[in-house]
Chain A
């Protein structure tokens, strides 16, 4: 079994439905093992964040309408059919939050794999070690990202990261206070999307 095949059935594995082949791969592959471990930790944390409440059917209906409006999915053919039944935990808020976190982990992993003394960004390669990190950095990913930048770029991106982190914090607080608040959930996803965009743009600069 390859890692790609394993990751295809990752949701089942995480729900405890792995067979012998999956278990064998998990035992033999440190990368997948680490991934599953991280996902379980994230899912556990996300459940604490979002509480144990399932969202109302209205939440799923809103997501479905949005996806249909964007042309990502086709409208349901059966009247009243729900795209995301409540039993489908892969699309639960905990997993949505986890997915956002996974994206950030992937971004961080990619960034780590591309860092080092062989930077091909000439004007950035000379002065990335000198200046202290900005107080805007709030976690390891941020620190790693900012650590590769020139002082001027670091200030620029640190400010943006602080902005989106504040956004995330506000959204998380509101979700925690009112788990049924659809707006707060959308704010949270928007904020994570913005954070991912900051990372994407920063990494583009790092690898060009």
Chain B
């Protein structure tokens, strides 16, 4: 009987908390009409931001705040839209969270910031910039655009990015790229791992660098690239029967390294780590 009472009390407490929590939630919707190549910035201190393409020339932002300790400011100057979470006295990471769901014309450039995220952008053709401390970042289905990511310790996943100009800087976050190609792909990490799965595209420049993190690239056996890999203190492994370069611009440096071409050397691939391990795998 006592146990039943206790369960009843707990249920009441949970219900009261749920009602209180829901009462503190404030959902706001913002709509902006923009022209081509608009610029949309979402500066969120805490909480997720998701960006998807809209079917018209409107930017639609749904912002859900979880307390009265945070306020969403918005501004439009021509085709430049800025939404920003403004912390009020008494704000904490727990109560200052705002959830953003954003729809933008696909050709818009978006800038997303959140300390803890997650941040996600998909199916866009405009530039994507993400910045965060521990925020998990996910960028997918982007074509012909710049993708710039700065993260301290959040993991970064890029999926199906074609013809991209990609720059990722990470301190501790792992970086995973699946089917990512571009004229320029550069990833720099201090201790995060870098994992590339794809074919290195055509006529691209890829440079993956980590201080202590491992670097692993998995590419088709018939991929075409010119690779120069070196780990100052770590091991290197290579599955490919590389051909010697006709012109060796730079001899392998001390440490462990491999250099050579596969196929017609369509893309340039540079892999560098101080004490991590490098592995180039054929699939």
Contact = CB atoms under 8 A, between A and B. Distances in A.
A205 B184 contact: no
Given A122-B90, A122-B91, A183-B253, A163 B274 contact: no
Interface string B33-51: 0000000000101000000
A163 B191 contact: yes
Contact of B272 (A167, A186, A200, A205): A186
Nearest to B170: A194
A58 interface: yes
Q: Which residue, of B113, B190, B230, B275, has the highest number of chain A Cβ atoms within 10 A?
A: B190
Contacts of A205: 115, 133
B87 A194 contact: no
Nearest to A182: B250
A167 B212 CA distance: 8
B205 interface: yes
B207 to A, nearest CB: 9
A204 B113 contact: yes
A123 B93 contact: yes
Which A-B residue pairs are the 4 nearest by beta carbons? A167-B211, A163-B190, A122-B89, A160-B171
- Please tell me the size bucket of the interface on B: 35 or more
Contacts of A163: 171-172, 190-191, 211
B112 to A, nearest CB: 13
Contact of B150 (A69, A159, A197): A197
A201 interface: yes
- Please tell me the size bucket of the interface on A: 20 to 34
A170 interface: yes
Contacts of B152: 156-157, 160, 197-198, 201
Contacts of A194: 169, 171, 188, 190
Contact of B190 (A58, A164, A201): A164
B92 interface: yes
Interface in A150-182: 156-157, 159-160, 163-164, 166-167, 170-171, 174, 178, 181-182
B90 to A, nearest CB: 6
Contacts of A166: 211
Contacts of B43: 208
Contacts of A160: 152-153, 171-172, 190
Interface in A99-141: 121-123
Nearest to A164: B190
